[in-house]
């Protein structure tokens, strides 16, 4: 697999220095390149529904939780309340979600799916989940288990505080 140019240049410089295990670095950059490619393809597929990944995830969260405050959505997405407000406003404008004030605290906005949003989510999830599954179609169950184990180990390594130092 061809690395993205930005990673290829990085590897070329490191190869000349010969101070690190280049195969491990290439493997990490391959993972990043594949993840980026998946993100790009995902965005193209969602664009036909006029959705971004963040907008889709908000719809998914609302289907799971029925209704959420802006602050709860922000926390679940891991983004700022301001960014959440922008995303939710666009979903309101498209008629996919509705907003009302909390009965106990009028300062809190409660968001829920509209029937139009539910229909779009159902259609999108059906098509999108099939596409996502196809990404690993040619992997055996054993391959998937090994891949998940390797990803878990990488995640553990990245999560360790001493790596950052």
| pLDDT one-digit tens code per residue, 144-156 | 999 999 999 999 9
pLDDT, tens digit, 9 for 90 and up, residues 43-63: 999 999 999 999 999 999 999
Report the distance separating Cα 153 and Cα 124, nearest Å.
32
**Could you give phi then psi for residue 108, rounded to 5 degrees?**
-95, 125
| Cβ contacts of 120-126, under 8 Å, gap ≥ 24 | 120/49, 120/51, 120/59, 120/96, 121/56, 121/59, 121/60, 121/63, 123/49, 124/46, 124/49, 124/51, 124/56, 124/59, 125/60
Fold adopted by 51-132? Arc Repressor Mutant, subunit A (1.10.10)
Average pLDDT of the chain is: 91
């Amino acid at each position: 697999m061809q690395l993205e140019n930005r990673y290829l240049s990085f590897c070329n410089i490191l190869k000349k220095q010969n101070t690190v295990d280049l195969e491990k670095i290439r493997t990490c950059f391959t993972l990043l390149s594949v993840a980026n490619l998946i993100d790009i393809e995902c965005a193209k597929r969602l664009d036909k529904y006029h959705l971004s990944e963040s907008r889709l995830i908000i719809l998914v969260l609302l289907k799971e939780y029925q209704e959420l405050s802006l602050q709860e959505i922000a926390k679940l997405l891991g983004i700022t309340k301001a960014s959440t407000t922008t995303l939710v406003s666009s979903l309101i404008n498209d008629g996919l979600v509705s907003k009302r004030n909390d009965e106990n605290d009028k300062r809190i906005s409660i968001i829920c799916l509209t029937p139009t949003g539910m229909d779009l989510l159902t259609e999108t999830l059906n098509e999108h989940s099939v596409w996502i599954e196809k990404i690993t179609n040619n992997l055996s169950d054993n391959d998937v288990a090994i891949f998940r184990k390797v990803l878990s180990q990488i995640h553990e390594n990245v999560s360790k505080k001493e790596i950052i130092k």
